[in-house]
Chain A
Amino acid sequence: MSANINTSAQGKRARKIPHTDEHRPKFIHQLANGGAETWLSAIIFGFGSFVNGQIIKGLLYLASEVGFILFYLTFGWGYVKDLLTLGTVQQGWVFNEAIGIDELAAGQNSMLILLYSVLTIATLVPLFMIWRNSVKSSYLAHERKLAGIKQPTFLKDVKTLLDLRYHMTLMSLPLITLTLFTALPIIFMVAIAFTNFDATHQPPGKLFTWVGLTNFRNIFFDNPKYKNSFGGILTWTFIWAIFATVTNYLLGMILALMINKQGIKLKKLWRTCFVITIAVPQFVSLMLVSRMFADTGIVNETLKNWNWIKDPIKFLTDPTLARIMVVIINMWVGVPYTMLMTTGILMNIPADLYESANIDGATAYRQFVSITLPYMLFVTGPYLITTFVGNINNFNVIYLLTSGGPLNQNYYQAGDTDLLVTWLYKLTVDRSDYNLASAIGIIIFVIVAAFSLLAYNFTGSVKKEDQFS
């Protein structure tokens, strides 16, 4: 009985047109074996489906082809044709005697040419997919016809979206939005790094064009102003990221250890006290602190009133002091987070390790260095990397506290506490040097990506994934 069911099932499967991935023939194979209608389907989308009785499916393929062609003719080509030059016609004016004002002879807009060209070129991907599917469905329809199987109705095809091809239904929306709102803008902005879209080439009055690697050459070699600024700011960015990460991590952990220590009373109260700093929005506390430590802020004024100082301490306007201050203030903002996170992990360290250490007479410091720290580093390795990378791009703390200041005379539009990312912000918003900012953005990405990959592969959590102890 059971054998009977088996054979019949197998028989069905054997007759069925291969539908799953492992059986799918290659594209060439489909063209070669799909009959004349498949060849035609590569030119007239949906032709094969249409002649094999899948009318609606065929029409949809055809409609999308027509839609794409219309899109390219009426919209896309108008921009893509100028992609190589990014436009040649500047905006001009023609005086109209009758009404006494100028008439605008609209010029081309390099930015829109670049933007819509990227969009148009990106539409080639869905076009290719539809073309590929048109050939494939024609081939499958042809095979079904040869095998004498009834073609599935359109409704049935649609129903597979809820069943066999449910993953497509689920994934299509995120994929489309991700492409439109993340991938395309990134491509557009990467492209700007290879143009001269700066303060003196602003639309609508001026065009900009491709300049190859000039921006990168300027940053690294040719332009001493950019070179000095970049070198100095990059160094400080790393110093900052290291200090900000390490101090927060260690202090947060020590704080958690202290609160967790046996014999400490009111643990919950202490913990709540520190967590309250999280409840106040970060930018509010940062702005307040920046006012507090200003030359005429409350700290300096109080110290003056107590006659401790005569001149204000330049907390945020002296280069070295400002750098120290941002690291310290960042501790205050960041330590509670580390404390919260480490509290949980610290409780997980097996207590017997500490017991035996106690018996062996190990000091508290020894226990921390030999038990707590290795354990924590093992568990939180990836967390440390993300924090480090986050600190490289820690816009909020720097911008809200010092705005990158105090300004440095050797830097181009930047100050001593500026990170690459805040410098980038100033270049775009204050100076409209989009090309330079975009090039810096790419460089930041390369640095961060390379560092993350390297560091991640060296962490204990990855190398000794299986020996969690």
Chain B
Amino acid sequence: MKNLRKIVSVVLACVLMMSAVSALADKVTLKVWGSNDDQKVLGELIEEFKAANPDTEWDISLGVVGEPDARARYQEDPAAAADVFAFANDQLIDLVNSGALRRITLNLDQIAAANTAGSIESATLDGTLYGYPKSADNGYFMYYDKSVFTEEDVKTLDGMLKKANEAGKKVFMDLSNGWYIASFFLGAGGQLTVDENGKQVCDFNNANGLAAAEAIKAFAADPAFLTGDDSVLVGMFGTTIAAGVSGTWNATVIAEKLGENYAACALPTFTCGGEQVPMASFIGTKVVGVNSQTAAPLQAFQLAEFITNEAAQVKFFEQRELGPTNIAAASNPAVLENIALAALSAQGVNGVSQKLVLGGYWTPAEAFGLAMENKSTEDLQSLLDKMVAQIVE
């Protein structure tokens, strides 16, 4: 009888202790959003994060929301959105304006020192850092086939088109896409910024813009010009297409298609009002932010920092060929030897931050590009005026 009582009391004590322990280490629940391609790496990083922080009981779930869709999906229901999510930095203004992001206050100096100045700037608005730079790959440059073009040919667009026409090949660029077509306008000195009231400012319809538009029109009318989406580029590179404007995400496939003829370089110059002007490009970064509505901000910051640190960026480079923003990771010899990333950083000289492009820019710019591809006979100036009127709202 006495034994039984002892056993019962021991069992009870154990139960009490266990419940006390589990109450102390209360579970931290976090949700992470990343793109479909990043899922594997993110999953590994989350496991590493859990292992590195064994004192807390973690419940971290991973959802598929690509960086381009982050803003739209966030706004559907901020409270149900991920605590930690990756987004393309052109959504920064919209996200900050809708109060979606927590500003970063912890380890500010270390983060600023560890990443390239440009990438920190890309996640900063009015002097406040709103996210951890994850990769600097949101830009485009020229892939080309070495058997068709020499290094001299790819310096000018005219040279490329001439060579392509001779070889019966195509030069690919998705002109009916605001992201790519901006290359000409920005190269010609066009301004796409935001004024103090948060409205988009765009001067693509001035004399410089008109000169750029003339160049676009000529390019679109060239027999060697080809447009389409990524599937066209990837599908026809090496056969019909000899050169194409795209970004790092297509590097692996294009390298495979071209074999030893695979090459990439900065965008060429184009003839703008009789002069050779380098084509500019949008340079964007992918950034990891922390949801303002998160219940566990400290831990969310911790996790966001972890999945963007040097080791994580090396991992992203190794498995996904994403260009690091982390200075130490970027100086990794493998990164330096990467042809696509080298071309991207060469293009960086003429890069324009995509941060100040508001959501209203894309559709009108696409419509203009489409008019060019369709060889519209309408007056260029009036087409430009219409586009700008739509962009500036």
Interface residues of A in 377-436 (CB under 8 A from B): 405-410, 412-413, 415, 429-432
- Bound together, the chains give a CA A101 to CA B305 distance in angstroms of 14
Docked-complex contact B228 and A296, CB < 8 angstroms: yes
- Bound together, the chains give a CA A200 to CA B198 distance in angstroms of 10
- Bound together, the chains give a CA A429 to CA B69 distance in angstroms of 10
**A232 at the binding interface (Cβ < 8 Å):** no
Contact with B along A113-130 (1 / 0, CB 8 A): 000000000000000000
Q: What are 16 A-B contacts with C-beta separation under 8 Å?
A: A95-B105, A100-B106, A101-B297, A102-B102, A102-B297, A104-B297, A199-B360, A202-B98, A203-B98, A205-B99, A294-B232, A407-B366, A409-B364, A409-B367, A409-B390, A432-B75
Docked-complex contact B100 and A205, CB < 8 angstroms: yes
Q: What 17 additional pairs, Cβ within 8 angstroms, besides A296-B232, A409-B387?
A: A91-B99, A102-B103, A102-B297, A199-B360, A200-B97, A202-B75, A202-B94, A202-B99, A203-B99, A205-B100, A294-B232, A295-B228, A317-B176, A407-B176, A413-B363, A415-B367, A431-B360
**A271 at the binding interface (Cβ < 8 Å):** no
Which residues of chain B are within 8 angstroms of A410 by Cβ–Cβ distance?
A: 386
Docked-complex contact A100 and B105, CB < 8 angstroms: yes
Which residues of chain A are within 8 angstroms of B176 by Cβ–Cβ distance?
A: 317, 407
- Give the contacting residue for B363; candidates A93, A318, A407; CB below 8 A: A407
- Give the contacting residue for A204; candidates B99, B228, B360, B383; CB below 8 A: B99
**A206 at the binding interface (Cβ < 8 Å):** yes
- Bound together, the chains give a CA A104 to CA B301 distance in angstroms of 14
**A99 at the binding interface (Cβ < 8 Å):** yes
Complex interface: stretch among B29-37, B310-318, B343-351, B370-378: B370-378
Docked-complex contact B292 and A104, CB < 8 angstroms: yes
Docked-complex contact A101 and B298, CB < 8 angstroms: yes
Distance in Å: Cβ of A424 to nearest Cβ of chain B: 15
- Bound together, the chains give a CA A413 to CA B389 distance in angstroms of 12
- Give the contacting residue for A102; candidates B105, B198, B366; CB below 8 A: B105
Which residues of chain A are within 8 angstroms of B292 by Cβ–Cβ distance?
A: 91, 104, 204-205
- Give the contacting residue for B370; candidates A199, A202, A205, A317; CB below 8 A: A317
Chain B residues proximal to chain A, CB less than 8 Å: 72, 75, 78-79, 94, 96-100, 102-103, 105-106, 176, 198, 226-228, 232, 236, 292-293, 297-298, 301, 359-360, 363-364, 366-368, 370-371, 373-374, 383, 386-387, 389-390, 393
Choose among B78, B98, B364, B374 the residue with the greatest number of A CB atoms under 10 Å from its CB.
B98
Docked-complex contact A99 and B228, CB < 8 angstroms: no
Docked-complex contact B371 and A204, CB < 8 angstroms: no
Which residues of chain B are within 8 angstroms of A204 by Cβ–Cβ distance?
A: 78-79, 98-100, 292-293
Which residues of chain B are within 8 angstroms of A406 by Cβ–Cβ distance?
A: 367, 370, 374
Docked-complex contact B374 and A317, CB < 8 angstroms: yes
Docked-complex contact A430 and B386, CB < 8 angstroms: no
Docked-complex contact A429 and B72, CB < 8 angstroms: yes
Docked-complex contact B383 and A101, CB < 8 angstroms: no
Cβ-closest chain A residue relative to B199: A200
Which residues of chain A are within 8 angstroms of B198 by Cβ–Cβ distance?
A: 200
Cβ-closest chain A residue relative to B104: A101
- Bound together, the chains give a CA A429 to CA B72 distance in angstroms of 7
Which residues of chain A are within 8 angstroms of B298 by Cβ–Cβ distance?
A: 99, 101
- Bound together, the chains give a CA A412 to CA B390 distance in angstroms of 7
- Bound together, the chains give a CA A126 to CA B86 distance in angstroms of 45
Choose among A107, A205, A314, A408 the residue with the greatest number of B CB atoms under 10 Å from its CB.
A205
Docked-complex contact A202 and B366, CB < 8 angstroms: no
Docked-complex contact A206 and B390, CB < 8 angstroms: no
Interface residues of A in 179-209 (CB under 8 A from B): 199-200, 202-206
Which residues of chain A are within 8 angstroms of B97 by Cβ–Cβ distance?
A: 200, 202, 205-206
Which residues of chain A are within 8 angstroms of B227 by Cβ–Cβ distance?
A: 295
Contact with B along A209-251 (1 / 0, CB 8 A): 0000000000000000100000000000000000000000000
Using known A-B contacts A91-B292, A429-B72, A430-B72, determine if residue A206 contacts B370 with beta carbons closer than 8 Å.
no
- Bound together, the chains give a CA A405 to CA B293 distance in angstroms of 37
Distance in Å: Cβ of A43 to nearest Cβ of chain B: 39
- Give the contacting residue for B301; candidates A101, A294, A429; CB below 8 A: A101
Using known A-B contacts A407-B363, A430-B72, determine if residue A101 contacts B102 with beta carbons closer than 8 Å.
yes
Which residues of chain B are within 8 angstroms of A429 by Cβ–Cβ distance?
A: 72
- Bound together, the chains give a CA A429 to CA B94 distance in angstroms of 14
Cβ-closest chain B residue relative to A223: B393
- Bound together, the chains give a CA A33 to CA B177 distance in angstroms of 77
Distance in Å: Cβ of A154 to nearest Cβ of chain B: 42
Distance in Å: Cβ of B67 to nearest Cβ of chain A: 16
Distance in Å: Cβ of A287 to nearest Cβ of chain B: 12
Distance in Å: Cβ of B240 to nearest Cβ of chain A: 8
- Give the contacting residue for B371; candidates A100, A295, A409, A430; CB below 8 A: A409
Distance in Å: Cβ of A56 to nearest Cβ of chain B: 40
Using known A-B contacts A199-B359, A206-B99, determine if residue A405 contacts B228 with beta carbons closer than 8 Å.
no
Distance in Å: Cβ of A195 to nearest Cβ of chain B: 15
- Bound together, the chains give a CA A202 to CA B367 distance in angstroms of 27
Cβ-closest chain B residue relative to A415: B367
Cβ-closest chain A residue relative to B98: A202
Choose among B75, B198, B226 the residue with the greatest number of A CB atoms under 10 Å from its CB.
B75
Contact with B along A427-448 (1 / 0, CB 8 A): 0011110000000000000000
Which residues of chain B are within 8 angstroms of A317 by Cβ–Cβ distance?
A: 176, 370, 373-374
Cβ-closest chain B residue relative to A431: B359
Which residues of chain B are within 8 angstroms of A104 by Cβ–Cβ distance?
A: 102, 292-293, 297
Which residues of chain A are within 8 angstroms of B364 by Cβ–Cβ distance?
A: 407, 409
- Bound together, the chains give a CA A191 to CA B298 distance in angstroms of 38
Interface residues of A in 55-106 (CB under 8 A from B): 90-91, 93, 95, 99-102, 104
- Bound together, the chains give a CA A431 to CA B368 distance in angstroms of 19
- Bound together, the chains give a CA A204 to CA B292 distance in angstroms of 9
Which residues of chain B are within 8 angstroms of A405 by Cβ–Cβ distance?
A: 370
Docked-complex contact B386 and A409, CB < 8 angstroms: yes
- Bound together, the chains give a CA A93 to CA B130 distance in angstroms of 14
Which residues of chain A are within 8 angstroms of B226 by Cβ–Cβ distance?
A: 296
Cβ-closest chain B residue relative to A311: B223
Docked-complex contact A296 and B236, CB < 8 angstroms: yes
Which residues of chain A are within 8 angstroms of B301 by Cβ–Cβ distance?
A: 101
Which residues of chain B are within 8 angstroms of A431 by Cβ–Cβ distance?
A: 359-360
Which residues of chain A are within 8 angstroms of B393 by Cβ–Cβ distance?
A: 225
- Give the contacting residue for A409; candidates B78, B297, B383; CB below 8 A: B383
- Bound together, the chains give a CA A104 to CA B100 distance in angstroms of 11
- Give the contacting residue for B367; candidates A107, A314, A408; CB below 8 A: A408
Distance in Å: Cβ of A33 to nearest Cβ of chain B: 53
Distance in Å: Cβ of B385 to nearest Cβ of chain A: 10
